Structure 1
Amino acid sequence: MTSPWSLVAIGGVCVLTLALGWRGLGRARGTSDFYVAGRTVSPWRNASAIGGEYLSAASFLGVAGLVYERGVDMLWMPVGYTVGYLVLLALVAAPLRRSGAYTLPDFAEMRLGSRTVRLMSSALVVAIGWLYLLPQMQGAGLALRHVTGWPTWIGAALIAAIITANLVAGGMRSITLVQAVQYWLKLSAIAIPAFVLLFVWMRDGRPQPVADDGWWLPLTNAAPSQHALFITYSTLAALCLGAMGLPHVVVRFYTNPDGWAARRTTVAVLALLGLFYLFPPVYGVLGRHYLEGGSTDGFSGSVVLSLPAAMIDGIGGDLLAALLAGGAFAAFLSTASGVAMSVAGALDQDVLRPLLARRTGGDFTPVQSFRVAAVLGVLAPFVVSGFIGTVGISTVIGHAFAIAAATFAPMLILGVWWRHLTAAGAGAGLAVGGISTATAAILSLSPLRLEGWPDALLTSPTAWATPLAVAVAVGVSLATSGSVPRNTPRIMARLHTPEEVLEATTHRP
């Protein structure tokens, strides 16, 4: 049954997104504007934009659905999502900004001097990006179907069209403003109904939600055959390390003016994420009491969207549901925009530009090729989303984090802190980490059903795949120590020397 208020809210979010994105049309003129917003984004705005980008449907809808379905074990997921930025702050935020790169493949080539490692990095950026985009598009379709009854492809098409328009209009200039505004929109959309629903719950005098004892026992191995403790900690490792390896997250630190601003941005992000994650578990806990029987359409996010109507009759419940529907669509749009930006950058620099250079003799501009790459980068996952069955948002994004944790995280940490890393070692680490986690994702998402340790190892591969990738990268680097790039000392000094020291040294008489 169509919910007119929810439809109005979704339409308003879409119009606002387009309006904000097209403000960048007249401001983005060169490559720096399209890729890193001219490196002029202030820490506070960048932190808001990162919050808008990072808080995807898995955060807005998925965390509540997981708490509702599986219990308070899942409260560790938002902790992991947030702690990932603490790891990023401590290890790579400032050095990445000082590298002067535009993208992760740029950093890989600059640090290691290898075109092969760059191409491997670009392939991983595209693969992780498409894996991230797929559930965003399907989730948008399911959310729109939940409030309108429309076919799911309409929501996916709407998301694809809007993010493509914004990327074509102004690249990073456009989506920075979009994502910054959408963080505060999402925070308001999830916080206001949460306070109202908590007030209703307390007014009703209802007891706390009742569930089986196991639902309330966090971090226990109550079901040894499922190896719940291993899965929990492996998932936490994926979230902590995967944050620094997600291309659409890392690229935002290149938009800061300097390394000091990158560190301030990360501290602000920790505060903004911590504030947001206070609210999704509220919906999961209340859902255990008011939504007996759970989701009826196979979409766990409907716990959030269904709760207001279950607790409040009439227009009050409809308005709260509309606010949540608008916030959910903002989550789909902001995350998909950032992911599509990173995918478009990789396709542009390492596929389209070389191809166009051979075909046209260089008769094109970087902005033109970026716009073509943006269209291709969004079109591919949209087409795939229509041909495969519904995938779990949190499950698929969890695998994207696992792949990032086993590939880019080792390369970045070793590249920033270990001067003996070689191109061969980095390439071997990327290959081992990528193949192992991608294979685990394919097998765990396939109809094949395993039990015991095989199932646990495939469902949450970070605990073994990331150490394996690091060991391979270090071992191969030591075996090829003679191929360490000759300019490594200069690059390492650049990564770890504060900008003010460099400026003082440069201007010394």
Structure 2
Amino acid sequence: MAFAISIMALYFLILTGLGIYKASKIKNQTDFSVAGRSLSPWVLVGTMLATWVGTGSILGNAGKAYETGLAALILPIGSVCGIILLTQIAGKVRSYEKFTVPEILADRYGETARLLGVFALVCAYMVIVSYQYNAGGAVLHTILKGSSFEMSMSLAIKIAATFIVIYTMLAGLVSVAYTDVGNGIIMTISLMIAFPVLWFMAGGASGMETAFASMNKTNHMKFWGVYSNIELVNFLLPPFLLILGDANMYQRFFASKDAKGAKKATIVLIFVVAVVEILIIACAWVASSLVTEETKGKYILITIAHSFLEHGHLATLLGALMLTTIIGIIVSTADSYLLVPATTIMRDVYQTHVNKDANEKKIVLLSRLLIVALGLIAYWVSTAFAQSETFFTKALYAYTIYGAAITPVLVAALFWKKASSKGAIASIIAGISVTILWSELTNIFYVMGKEEAFLQSSFYNEIYKPTDAVLPAIFASVACLIIFSLFFPDKAKKTSAEESQ
């Protein structure tokens, strides 16, 4: 236990030291927000990997593997397909010389689309950051449990949140990108070691089959036929939409040395993400045959890594390495999803509508203060999640809001010349409003006094209940984009992005 704590402490000290060192080199907004546009393809691969593979993978997908078994290996398909399409976007995005996704929207569609984009991005990203706080707290709480440093979950979350905020505000993307490379390497190595160790501990396929049978989990050895078609859509479409329009990925493209490097890094990322995501799910699947307590399934990889600490020296080293990997993944994802909305608010609200002549020193200072403010908001969201499962469930659709509202208009801005301002505005509003209305439909009928009739209707049981908000939201968003663009075209003009090409 002491060894694992020492490894974690060393990791935090290295991160903090690097952040302080890089902070001294920050001179302007370009340095802080897009790393001086200096990142090489290999650094881009590392930072994009560590950014994407976060709590959604290490807790979400791993937890799903504990719940459904081998079939969870299907889950990475959505994100991998999204990255394949990103290879056609990366170089084009880098050539724009922008800082944020809403800047691209403003360049093509105008200020209303920009501000709607800012709203959707900030809402979704605050929810994502709050998850990282809770996950970071869970790791600290688990590691320190039973030691002289044992602390409550609440205190652990506060410590995780404080570290993430301080680290992010120190040096922005410069420190984040280079530590992401280290996190990515550690992540890959630890997972590659963990899988065969877990396989041996589980007794191979026959041992797992016996264990699952004793737990009455007969489907855990099946790959196909576990999820229905509508479940596959619900599981695969949200990550596909998010990664295709994820402002974190676009910020990395903006930080690349050139367009060629951005495209090259994205091609490599396809294979790296596929390998790491499959390893995470495979480790969780095998580990689930070793853990019988359902309450620990939500944190299956944390649970199994912690159990290694109680074995011999090599197992202790692997457990410490896995826990360091998990906390590294959480920190990498959280700081990225905290930095992007801060940069977005500065560029698309403050510098555009409040103070167009702000000097570089003031911009960097305000960016850091914004990170603190947004970090506090995300912490408030995380405490609300902890107190109310209902609020937690409702807040999840913020994830869909971004994918349904931003991704269609963003891709259209890059590739569809007929996309118009009115089409974009209608699309963003449709993506946001349909997500909210679909998720709140039961409550709406309750207020109307018709909840019972709604719950007994064929629409509820055959369409609404099995379908998440993402499908109707993306349909409405794309339909509005196409229809309004065709019926209300923009006057012929060249955007600044087109003129720069």
- In the superposition, the TM-score normalised over structure 1's length comes to 0.84
Q: What secondary structure sits across from 2:385 in the alignment?
A: coil
Matched, 1:136 2:138: no
Match of 1:453 among 460, 463, 483: 463
**SS of 2:386's equivalent?**
coil
Aligned counterparts of 1:423 and 1:219: Cα–Cα separation in 2? 43
Of 138-147 and 287-296, deviating more is 287-296
1:303/1:361 CA distance change after superposition, 3 Å: closer
**Structure 2 gap ranges (5+):** 146-150
Residue 437 (structure 1) shift: 2.4
Distance 1:354 1:478, change over 3 A: closer
Q: What is the correspondence of 1:124-273 to structure 2 with a 5 Å cutoff?
A: 124-149=120-145, 150-202=151-203, 206=207, 208=209, 209-211=211-213, 212-220=217-225, 228-273=228-273
Alignment correspondent of 1:476: 484
The one of 326, 330, 355 equivalent to 1:328 is: 326
**1:380 Cα deviation from its structure 2 partner:** 0.7
Contact between 1:49 and 1:177, CA under 8 Å: does it hold in 2?
yes
Q: Is the partner of 2:384 in helix, strand or coil?
A: coil
On the 8 A contact 2:80/2:273 being kept in 1, the answer is yes
Looking at structure 1, the residues matched to 305 and 123 of structure 2 have their Cα atoms a distance apart, in angstroms, of 35
Q: Which amino acid in 1 is paired with 2:101?
A: L
Q: CA RMSD for the aligned pairs?
A: 3.3
The equivalent residue for 1:8 is: 6
| Cα shift at 1:87 | 1.8
How many residue pairs were aligned?
Answer: 478
Look up the match of 1:486: 493
Tell me the equivalent position of 2:382.
385
Between the aligned partners of 1:139 and 1:443, the Cα distance in structure 2 is: 30
Deviates most, 305-314 or 53-62: 305-314
TM-fit CA distance, 1:375: 1.1
Residue pairs, 1:54-453, within 5 angstroms: 54-90=52-88, 92-112=89-109, 114-149=110-145, 150-202=151-203, 206=207, 208=209, 209-211=211-213, 212-220=217-225, 228-296=228-296, 300-306=298-304, 309=307, 313-353=311-351, 357=355, 365-389=362-386, 399=397, 401-440=399-438, 453=463
1:355–1:469 Cα change, 3 Å:
closer
Say whether the 8 Å CA contact 1:52–1:182 is kept in structure 2. Answer: yes
Q: Percent identity?
A: 19
CA shift for structure 1 position 314: 4.7
CA contact (8 A) 2:165 2:372 kept: yes
Give the Cα separation in 1 of the matches to 2:463 and 2:4. 44
Equivalent AA in structure 2 for residue 143 of structure 1: V
Q: State whether residues 76 and 277 of structure 2, in contact with CA within 8 Å, keep that contact through their aligned partners in structure 1.
A: yes
Deviation of 1:48 after TM superposition, in Å, equals 0.7
Rounded Cα–Cα distance in structure 1 between residues aligned with 2:395 and 2:283: 21
- 1:168 CA drift (Å): 2.5
Partner SS, residue 289 of structure 1: coil
When the two structures are superposed, what TM-score results if normalisation uses the length of structure 2? Answer: 0.85
The answer to whether the Cα contact below 8 Å between 1:65 and 1:304 also exists between their aligned partners in 2 is no
Moved more, 258-267 or 241-250: 241-250
Question: 1:44, CA displacement in angstroms?
Answer: 0.9
Partner of 1:502: none
> Shift in Å at residue 317 of structure 1?
4.0
State the Cα deviation string for residues 469-491 of structure 1 (Å, max 9, x = none): 0110111122221x346114x74
Match of 1:47 among 35, 45, 49: 45
1:286 shift after superposition: 2.0
Provide the C-alpha distance between the structure 1 equivalents of 2:140 and 2:442, rounded to a whole number of angstroms.
28
1: CA distance, partners of 2:483 / 2:234: 24
Equivalent residues of 2:102, 2:114 under 8 A apart: yes
